[in-house]
A and B are shown apart, each in its own frame.
Chain A
Amino acid sequence: MLSEPRDGLLDRYQPGGAFDEAFDADGSVRDTYSRIVERFRELDVDEIRRLEKLVADEFRRQGITFTVYSEEEGTERIWPMDLFPRLIAAAEWDELARGLSQRVAALNCFLADLYNGGAAAVADGVVPRWLVMSSQCFERNAMGIAVPHSAHCNVAGIDVVRDTDGRYRVLEDNLRSPSGISYVIENRAAMAKACSWLFYDHAVQPTEQYGQMLRSTLQSMAPGGEHDPRIVVLTPGIFNAAYFEHAFLARSMGVELVEGRDLVVDDHKVYTRTIEGLVKVDVIYRRIDDDFLDPVAFRPNSTLGVPGLLSALRAGTVTVCNALGNGVVDDKGVYPYVPEMIRYYLGAEPIIDNVTTYMMWDPDQRREALARLDELVAKPVGESGGYGVLIGPHATEQQLDEARARIEAEPRSWIVQELVQLSTLPSVAEDRLEPRHLDLRPFVLTGERTQVFPGGLTRVAMRRGSLIVNSSQGGGSKDTWVLAPETP
């Protein structure tokens, strides 16, 4: 299987202008990656293709897919994983995990304050009132609904990138229904099957404990401190892009995966419909947006939700995780204020900085940003998954003019950020390894206590020079190894 060292996959590797995770500027291998690079130098392209096929066959057999929505129909694709893993040294991870905990703690404080605490931060001008009230995801129905431990966000996916100096920065907060954790665990399982020998030189933190971590988090969210609550995962159904993940999570927690039609509200309590009759539910881990949760309170034509669910929430007989109204902090218009939230609620400086962001509703910042739009990145505040993003240096004059016009017309709907040259890592290209840009989505769980899951979803752009890492737009993924402390 392995051949003698020879000229091969990494010989012509040139990191380029961005921070490369595996090689420093003069082409030397960084300590963390020394062994893995050595192993890949022993491979040739035929062996790489063989391993790729093994992984793809494994994913195909298990039906590990994701759905790309085109204009008319969805296309189910095999989940793409690059064989060269991402490694994070123990000390580096500790610092990152502290920063993530800090950020999620502040965001939870803000949500608790906003919906249950009199909105002190808004009154004190930490976040402008008009900005919060104008957010499409600010949810008036969430006002006054009690949330155990004030943990509004039980599962957060915080997208981080590394800039040209190698510093981590937060690119985006996802506090509604962040997806991707199942792929993290399946990536590891596939790597362990296809490339078990790669792990021999490293002590890698495991990933299979996520189901138990999530279960204990959700258990702690039961109303009234119920010790053995009935937990369910609520999915829109088998045609949803993330259905594989919903089923995966239910299975790994050992709880039921339900659809809206499996649940019914009676006397302000939620029940599942079983063949024995109705059985009470205590905690719902929902993977359905707020708007679809309850047709009585939100979209009347939604068949995905549960009529009367809001009444049960108000009665305190059930907990919905993540809580209602979290989308207000996913609003990219609120994102620039998160560092100030950290100072306000926690009295500390942010451990992880934001990317430099210009708020388009500020006339001075707008003027400056629009003048340099060809160097910057414009993002619509309400989108996710990379949709609607304009990358200035890659845009035509016409696209830039159109973006300027849209921003001038609706400044509240846009932010503009400095372009971050996402860090790179060797990735399998045609016949060798080439640098490809990547980001990282770690997952933070909060219930009675906060836990940061080791690693996260590393998403990688598959085309040379591309900064688009979203799987929905052709991006791939990598197994992410957080190394145990004894490993350099």
Chain B
Amino acid sequence: MILARHAEALLWVGRYLERAETTSRCLNYAANSITHLRAGEARAEGELMVRTLGLQDELEAVGPLESQPQLVAFLLSDTDNPGSVVSAIVAVRENLRSVRDRIPIELWEEANGLYLRFPFLGHADAAPAGLHEVLLMVRRACLAISGVLNEGMRRDEGHAFVVVGRMLERSIFTVGLLEASHSDARGVMDAARMLRLTSSLQAYHRQHGNAPDTHGVVRYLLHAPDLPRSLLSCLGRAEEGLTGLGPNSAALDRARRKAALLRARLELGEVEEAMASAPVATLQDLAVQLTGLASDVHAGIVPPLAMATVQAQYVRPGGAGKGEGAG
């Protein structure tokens, strides 16, 4: 039986791994598209990207983005921004480090190797010269980590929590993307853009063979059963991961049922129907449902015989190693 702390760490590994890859992809897209825009448009594009990633509160703390380097620093290397690529990579590594005894060595090596490839870590304003290469490297490293997770890790509870974490994060992003694209003052986002930000353009072309239209793409990103980043697909995998986890946990059971219910609403056309009449409200409702699902998963990790949670207080460097005799 997995320790509650380990379960939580692995859930966050899944979430942050997904976040690192998603933010890299979005930043790459934003950095390329902004180059061709006038100043005002570029600022609006940057803000749209921040909304898409759900980082409005974090941006408020640093003030408005006036230039492309600022956007890059905010999304790539700002360690005060938990949604930045670097923050996500650090979080993946630290969470894996705390469960190092139960994960494959190769998984730790890949994550540690990615971390070590960021010599500018801790320097929020130091954007690398070859941004595209850095982002490509991050995405490839994330894929390598996913490969080890899929092929090298035992299909135990720990693996299931990673999968659930990834699917939660991915669902939240997909819905956030659709919501942001419907809420933009400039009108609904370009359909091809939505597909690129979800790495789905090629799949869409192959399946539908025509120029993407907004309605079709929104439907595709919500309902396609075989698209790895569609909401339906993510919910199915999250539900699958949750099955068998913590049979005595009421919160995990609630999360399982919530995932199943959402999936059913998608499969039975209820969501599509609602989207036709009130897309923004429907997407906002989906976002709320997903947040509730994530909360239930996190709550379900706490042992059912609730004891007072001990606040994590590590021995900080300099303060000790004192916990253990130096012998």
Contacts and interface: CB of A to CB of B under 8 A. Distances in A.
Contacts of A71: 318
Interface string B91-112: 0001001111110010011001
A63 B97 CA distance: 10
A389 to B, nearest CB: 13
Given A61-B113, A275-B157, A288 B323 contact: yes
Interface string B6-21: 1100000000000000
B311 A303 contact: yes
A276 B316 CA distance: 31
Given A157-B327, A275-B300, A277-B248, A262 B101 contact: no
Contact of B4 (A74, A274, A288): A274
Interface stretch (A12-20, A85-93, A173-181, A311-319): A173-181
Given A241-B321, A304-B315, A61 B4 contact: no
A272 interface: yes
Given A74-B317, A274-B2, A275-B300, A62 B109 contact: yes
Contacts of B326: 179, 241, 384-385, 387, 472
A60 interface: yes
B57 interface: no
A333 to B, nearest CB: 16
A304 B327 CA distance: 18
Contact of A251 (B101, B112, B249): B101
Contacts of A273: 3-5, 303, 307
A176 B112 contact: no
> What is the interface of chain A mostly: helix, strand, loop, or mixed?
mixed
B325 A238 contact: no
Nearest to A247: B100
Contact of B325 (A67, A256, A289): A289
Question: Range of interface residues on chain B?
Answer: 35 or more
Given A62-B108, A177-B325, A273-B5, A240 B315 contact: yes
Contacts of A276: 1, 246-249, 303-304
A239 B101 contact: no
A61 B109 contact: yes
B248 A237 contact: no
B186 interface: no
B312, B318, B325: residue with the most chain A Cβ atoms closer than 10 Å: B325
A70 B5 contact: no
B301 interface: yes
Contacts of A43: none
Contact of B100 (A75, A251, A255, A384): A251
Interface string A240-261: 1111101110110001111111
A278 interface: yes
Of the candidates B304, B305, B323, the one having the most CB atoms from chain A within 10 angstroms of its own CB is: B323
Nearest to B309: A261
Contacts of A241: 321, 324, 326
A438 interface: no
Contacts of B5: 258-259, 261-262, 273
B30 to A, nearest CB: 32
Contacts of A67: 317, 321
A275 B305 CA distance: 10
B116 interface: yes
Nearest to B301: A275
Contacts of B314: 236-240
Contacts of A304: 313, 315, 323
A275 B2 contact: yes
A82 interface: no
A486 B252 CA distance: 60
A75 B318 CA distance: 9
A282 interface: no
A277 B304 contact: yes
A261 B312 contact: yes
Contacts of B309: 261
A240 B116 CA distance: 20
Interface string A175-192: 011110000000000000
A260 B310 contact: yes
B112 A61 contact: yes
Contacts of B6: 256
Given A62-B108, A261-B312, A176 B317 contact: no
Contact of A179 (B245, B246, B327): B327
A367 to B, nearest CB: 32
B310 to A, nearest CB: 4
A330 interface: yes
Contacts of B4: 262, 273-275
A261 to B, nearest CB: 4
Contacts of B315: 236-237, 239-240, 304
A247 B101 contact: yes
Contact of A240 (B249, B304, B307, B321): B321
B3 A258 contact: yes
A178 B113 CA distance: 29
A292 interface: yes
Contact of B112 (A62, A233, A259, A289): A62
B186 to A, nearest CB: 46
Interface in A131-172: 157
B36 interface: no
Contacts of A178: 327
A482 interface: no
Contacts of B116: 60-61
B322 interface: yes
Contact of B327 (A60, A177, A255, A288): A177
5 contacts: A61-B109, A69-B321, A236-B321, A237-B323, A385-B327
Q: Which 5 A-B pairs have the closest CB atoms?
A: A74-B317, A236-B323, A250-B101, A174-B327, A261-B310
